[in-house]
Amino acid sequence: PVTVLLKHYSMCAVVGNSGILTGSHCGPEIDQADFVFRCNFAPTEVYSKDVGRKTNLTTFNPSILERYYNNLLTIQDRNNFFLNLKKLEGAILWIPAFFLHTSATVTRTLVDFFVEHKGQLKTKNLSPKRLSTGILMYTLAYAMCDEIHLYGFWPFGWDPNTGKELPYHYYDKKGTKFTTKWQETHQLPSELTRGINRRFIRYIVVFSTVRIFMLLSCFH
């Protein structure tokens, strides 16, 4: 299956999990992509109208097990996890090394060490923040695709089109407030392409030979 990562694709969709996808009607458009990247084992079945069903690769990190599968402590938890894994239907489940608890601990220890000795070592722009899953998926897509469409990348608690409040994830329970807990580990707004014009639903950035689209809605 890993050989699919060695191929090159005409158009790819990288799907984030922002609440901006709720009501976006982007599902059919996402499913038309030649290759679909998703983040952190996000559910699609109930939300397919907005996020699509197709998945070629999705990431996974330990927080998913803790938050949604009770660390697989019971038979029911394991069954639920197994059933959701089957829904991937051959897609790649990618668990990046630095998402593992052991690697994260080592990384944090190193960062703390450099911060402690900041005045004695030549460091530049040192930060305990790490890149988000979304930016890792975008980087992979950049190497594999001629054209990239980004969906669900909006790290703000309001809809730029309507001004309404948004949940952090599109799959959060109704009424869930936007969280800024991610600020402890990520710098999501700075990962967005600079110069975004919030008055427009779509914009295109031409960079090198790869065409990159970021979509906040799929109404035409």
How many Cα atoms are found within 13 Å in the side-chain-facing hemisphere of 38? 23
Torsion 131-187-23-29 (CA) sign: negative
CA distance 150 to 11: 11
Q: Which residue in 149, 169, 186, 220 is the catalytic one?
A: 186
Go through 176-211 and write b for each residue having 16 or more CB atoms within 10 A of its CB, e for each that does not: eebeeeeeeebebeeebeeeeeeeeeebeeeeeebe
Told to judge if 186 belongs to the known catalytic residues of this protein, a careful annotator would answer yes
Residues with a catalytic annotation lie at 186
